[in-house]
A and B are shown apart, each in its own frame.
Chain A
Amino acid sequence: AQKVTQAQTEISVVEKEDVTLDCVYETRDTTYYLFWYKQPPSGELVFLIRRNSFDEQNEISGRYSWNFQKSTSSFNFTITASQVVDSAVYFCALSEVGSGTYKYIFGTGTRLKVLA
């Protein structure tokens, strides 16, 4: 069965530090998709990235970067030079095909606190 594990419940860093959020997934499908979402204190979920299982290239978007490694079933997220505005809960998610559509399974989230 599909599963997403975010072992880090909460991380605290000082502003300008780099921080990596870990995500490990389990799936039997060869075709799947991985996502990261950000949930700021307001509660809404903000989409950050989507990656399919055939594309292992790392991606960088400004201060954000993602490292996808199929060999270790990991999809880690790094924030460089963290800022207070990065404080939020971050969710990793996995999508597989099920019952004719795509199910999206989320991890338990990592709460990031960036201290000024």
Chain B
Amino acid sequence: SQTIHQWPATLVQPVGSPLSLECTVEGTSNPNLYWYRQAAGRGLQLLFYSVGIGQISSEVPQNLSASRPQDRQFILSSKKLLLSDSGFYLCAWTTGVSAGELFFGEGSRLTVL
């Protein structure tokens, strides 16, 4: 069966520090991968999505970046965090064959102080 894992689950970082959130999918090949952010009262905002290794589409211009170094690995990064980067980050995957169910990870809660 397929599983998706995110880490770390919780992170507290000072303003200006770097960020790296990792997401790994198991049990499937060639997944479409997504990063969402959930800020208080703002719903789920699509940040990045990827259809394959090295292929990243950005939805919102910001100081975050994403990379997909391996087929089932998706990384969210920042060189310098801002206070506004605080939120709940969710990784998700789908098969990409059709608009099927999005499967979400457990989420990573980031607090920038």
Could you tell me which A residues sit within 8 Å of B by CB distance?
A: 6, 9, 32-33, 35, 37, 43-45, 47, 50, 52, 91, 93, 95-96, 98-109
Contact = CB atoms under 8 A, between A and B. Distances in A.
Contacts, number: 66
Interface string B61-105: 000000000000000000000000000101010101011111110
**Contact residues of A: prevailing secondary structure:** strand
A106 B43 contact: yes
Given A91-B44, A108-B43, A47 B49 contact: no
B53 interface: no
Given A43-B107, A45-B104, A104-B94, 7 more contacts: A43-B88, A45-B92, A91-B43, A96-B99, A101-B32, A101-B49, A102-B32
Given A43-B106, A44-B107, A95-B99, A100 B36 contact: no
A94 to B, nearest CB: 9
Interface residues of B, number: 27
A88 B22 CA distance: 27
A-B interface, 5 closest residue pairs, ranked by CB to CB distance from nearest: A108-B43, A106-B44, A95-B99, A33-B99, A102-B99
Chain A CB within 10 Å, residue with most, of B57, B100, B102, B106: B102
Contacts of A91: 43-44
Interface of B: 32, 34, 36, 41-46, 49, 51, 57, 59, 88, 90, 92, 94, 96, 98-104, 106-107
B101 A102 contact: no
